[in-house]
Amino acid sequence: MKRTLIALCATVLVSALACAQNAQFQAGVDRAQVGSGEQFSLQFTLTNAGTGGGKNLQLPDLGKFHIMSGPNESSSMQIINGAVSSSVTYHYVLQPKEIGKFTIGAATIEAGGVTLRSAPVVIEVVKGSTRANQPGGKQDDAAAQIGDNLLLKATVDRTHVVQGEQVNLVFKIYTRVSIANYAVEKNPTMTGFWGEDVETPKNIQTNPETVNGKQFRVGIIKRMALFPTQPGALEVGPMELQTSVQVQDRRSTDPFESFFRDPFGRQVNYIVKSEAIKIKVDPLPPDPPSDFKGAVGQFAMSTTVDKKTTRTNEPIDLKVTVSGTGNIKLIESPAVELPADFEQYTPKVSDNINRTGDRISGSKTFEYLLIPRYPGLKVIKPVTFSYYDPAKREYVRLRSPQIELNVEQGAAAVTPLISGGSQEDVRLLSQDIRFIKLGESGLSPRGEHLHTSGVFIAMLLLPLACAGGALVYARQRQAVMLDQAGYRNRRAIKVARKGLKQAEYLLKEKGSTGAPASNQRLRFYGEISKALWKYLGDKLTIPQSAFSIEGAVAELSRREAPADLIASLKALLETCDLARFAPTSLDLTVMQRTYDEAQRIIVALERILR
């Protein structure tokens, strides 16, 4: 019993393990080679995933294909001899976009806690149909039927333009089959263009047209106006259209099948694609006007102001309208040169574009709001607008007339706007100016300052004179103090001469007796003596009181005076002394000789005592 239980458990475990190990994920296509217009199916099959099934299916990159339908999920379960096998199939219908050999990469799925990967699948896409001649599946039959009978063609009216010139692009569908409906799968790429859809009738009208001997019905799907915004070789990408095409199944020999067949055929999804178009764009001629901003076409401009007279702070509306054909939408606002102190806001732009007809036309209006801040006659300079005219192959410059505005003083005064003012500014603004100064003094003729008045300039000299006087006085005083001996020395000869002159006068003066009177003689000798004493005193710098003949003689000999001169001086002095005590003994000739002697001695001494 125990043994049986263990065996049972083991069996269950092993089978469970086997079940998990057997889970497989496979990818497959229904055929390895397809035609470019054909559809094929791609399947991912998950087998033995257990009860949980698969989840989180990750598809590989299918960018080279259109997914026409899918995923369609189907599952099956089989029990054969007690063994359970289950499978889940994910089914896609694809149509190739391009011709070539492609590898569909691995898809992943999670099952039973394990991520499973499918093997990559290779598929080859060949031009045309692979099974055109083989009667086969219905799908292939339909693709073969549509084949060359459904075309999408893109045409342009010009392939060589200048930058900004309009190119008309038309997508036409050529069909020999009946199309139930269509939808744009992918719009054409238009790098380097500004495209404007041109209105087309809602209901497509078809016209018969013969291409390569085949009769087609042709309808316009889409019409566009393109404006290249850059020079160079530009390309308009292909447009893809998904169509539902009514197909008739081929007559079958099987009567039952033909009986059950839909008499109106059935609908097949089919993608039709146009070719890319190359357009060569020339750059605009060099040296455009300064105000050229890319407008190409034929334009006219008008400017209007709502009023010619206004008040300060009342706005004026200036409208600049550019109208014509060309790339209207790309026109930028022309610069309006305003007088200073006008406030200007960014213009309000409105456009009105007419999209019908062969050429895009319309108008663009720029509305400028101007606010004059100060009164006066203001002139708005002419507004200019330049465009390139591709027909004339030249730049054209439009110029509006000059606008004159009369601005009157408005009622409201301009209140100063405090922006970014400091707190101090705000505080000050609430204050008034201070009151006037009522003092009446201080009025003086203009330009009159203290420093320019005559009195002041005169006063400037006063301290200078004061200091100068002090300097002179001090100098003199110092000289006296320092140079007394020299002063006496310089003074000596003058004093001596003066004494001698006095003596000469006494000598010459005749008394009533015809000869000098005795007191006169006495005075004569006195004068001679005094002159000599003073001279010697000054010259030898001996104070008068300490003077004696011996002292003078000693000083003279010290100064190396000649001995005979000293002797005659001594004799003269003694004569003078003697004459003062016995005046009568001396007559006029002696007096004369004494005088001459004194003069001679002084002159000689002057020579020595310099």
Partner 1 sequence: MTMRRILPLLLILVAAREVPAQTPEQLLRQANQLYQQGKFPEAREAYGAILSSGYESPELLYNLGNACYKSGSVPAAILNYERARRLLPGDEDLRHNLQIASMVITDRIEPTPRLFVWDYWDGIKNWFSLSGLTLMVYLLYALVAVMASAFFLARTYALRKIAILAGSGSLVLFLFFLVVLIARLGDVTRTDEAVVMSQIVTVKNSPDAKSSDAFVLHGGVKVQLIDRVGGWSKVRIADGKVGWLEATAVEVI
Name the site residues for partner 1 (rule: CB under 8 A): 340-341, 374, 414, 416, 419-421, 425, 428-429, 431-446, 449-451, 456, 459-460, 462-464, 466-467, 469-471, 473-474
Pairing of strands 292-305, 316-326: antiparallel
Q: Cβ of residue 420: shortest distance to partner 1, in angstroms?
A: 8
Output the CA torsion 138→141→142→143 (10° steps).
Answer: 130
Nearer of residues 288 and 375 to partner 1, judged by Cβ? 375
Q: Cβ of residue 483: shortest distance to partner 1, in angstroms?
A: 18
Nearer of residues 181 and 452 to partner 1, judged by Cβ? 452
Output the CA torsion 444→448→452→458 (10° steps).
Answer: -30
Cα distance between residue 85 and residue 51, in whole Å: 11
Q: Cβ of residue 200: shortest distance to partner 1, in angstroms?
A: 52
**N-to-C CA span, the chain:** 173
Q: Cβ of residue 423: shortest distance to partner 1, in angstroms?
A: 13
Q: Which residue has the tokens 């400017």?
A: 303
Other C-beta atoms closer than 10 Å to the C-beta of 161 total 22
Nearer of residues 414 and 578 to partner 1, judged by Cβ? 414
Nearer of residues 414 and 571 to partner 1, judged by Cβ? 414
Q: Cβ of residue 325: shortest distance to partner 1, in angstroms?
A: 36
Report yes or no: 129 and 144 within 8 Å, Cβ to Cβ.
yes
Nearer of residues 477 and 498 to partner 1, judged by Cβ? 477
Sign of CA dihedral 142, 143, 144, 150: positive
Nearer of residues 296 and 336 to partner 1, judged by Cβ? 336
From the number of C-beta atoms within 10 Å of its C-beta (0-12, 13-18, 19+), residue 242 rates as middle
Cα distance between residue 242 and residue 181, in whole Å: 9
Phi/psi at 34 (5° precision): -130, 160
Q: Which two tokens stand for residue 168?
A: 């008309």
Amino acid at position 600, single letter: R
Q: Which two tokens stand for residue 456?
A: 């002041």
Q: Cβ of residue 376: shortest distance to partner 1, in angstroms?
A: 8
Cα distance between residue 465 and residue 61, in whole Å: 114
Q: Which DSSP string do the residues of 273-305 spell out, in sequence order? A: EPPPEEEEEEPPPSS--TTEEEEEEEEEEEEEE
Q: Cβ of residue 395: shortest distance to partner 1, in angstroms?
A: 24
Nearer of residues 8 and 479 to partner 1, judged by Cβ? 479
Nearer of residues 473 and 505 to partner 1, judged by Cβ? 473
Q: Cβ of residue 305: shortest distance to partner 1, in angstroms?
A: 21
Report yes or no: 192 and 229 within 8 Å, Cβ to Cβ.
yes
C-alpha closest to that of 204 among 225, 187, 222: 222
Nearer of residues 10 and 459 to partner 1, judged by Cβ? 459
Q: Enumerate residues 6+ apart whose C-beta is below 8 A from 330.
A: 164, 194, 227, 229, 294, 295
Q: Cβ of residue 461: shortest distance to partner 1, in angstroms?
A: 10
Q: Cβ of residue 467: shortest distance to partner 1, in angstroms?
A: 4
Phi/psi at 513 (5° precision): -85, -5
Nearer of residues 312 and 327 to partner 1, judged by Cβ? 312
Q: Cβ of residue 399: shortest distance to partner 1, in angstroms?
A: 18
Q: Cβ of residue 373: shortest distance to partner 1, in angstroms?
A: 8
Other C-beta atoms closer than 10 Å to the C-beta of 251 total 9
CA angle 143, 147, 152 (to 5 degrees): 120
Nearer of residues 473 and 487 to partner 1, judged by Cβ? 473
Nearer of residues 393 and 446 to partner 1, judged by Cβ? 446
Q: For residue 176, give the DSSP letter.
A: S
C-alpha closest to that of 115 among 52, 56, 72: 56
